[in-house]
Amino acid sequence: KAATIITVPEEDTQANPVAEKSFFKVYPNPTTGMFTLELSHEDLAGNVKVEVYRMQGEKVLNTSYSAERKHLFSLGGKPAGCYFIRVICGDKAGTMKIIMQ
């Protein structure tokens, strides 16, 4: 299967790449299946939507939680490889790559 090439408009490359991820972190990364998502600020601990995708685009986790700054997740039973975790909290959204060993 041929690789897909995505072009990014010039104006989008001027955005601060650190700001996109700065409101949450995921650890441990790489993970053996269990990982913690931690929001960077207490005031962000409202409604949080979390989606995890395999590299091929298949959604393997879709959940929401509220009033927690830290939340434990499990990818137990999923194959090793690269995954993307998408976190939406209020008007903030970010994506991070996680490695499952």
**43 against 10, higher pLDDT:** 43
The 3 state secondary structure assigned to the chain is CCCCCCCCCHHHHHCCHHHHHCCEEEECCCECCEEEEEECCHHHCCEEEEEEEECCCCEEEEEEEECCCEEEEECCCCCCEEEEEEEEECCEEEEEEEEEC
- How long is the chain? 101
pLDDT tens-digit readout, 35-54? 999 998 766 667 899 999 99
Q: Mind listing the pLDDT tens digit for each residue in 50-96?
A: 999 999 999 999 999 988 889 999 998 999 999 999 999 888 899 99
Give residue 67's pLDDT: 81
CA distance 100 to 24: 19
- pLDDT reported for residue 36: 96
Query: pLDDT tier at 1 (50, 70, 90 boundaries)?
Result: low
Both tokens of 75, joined, read: 């990818």
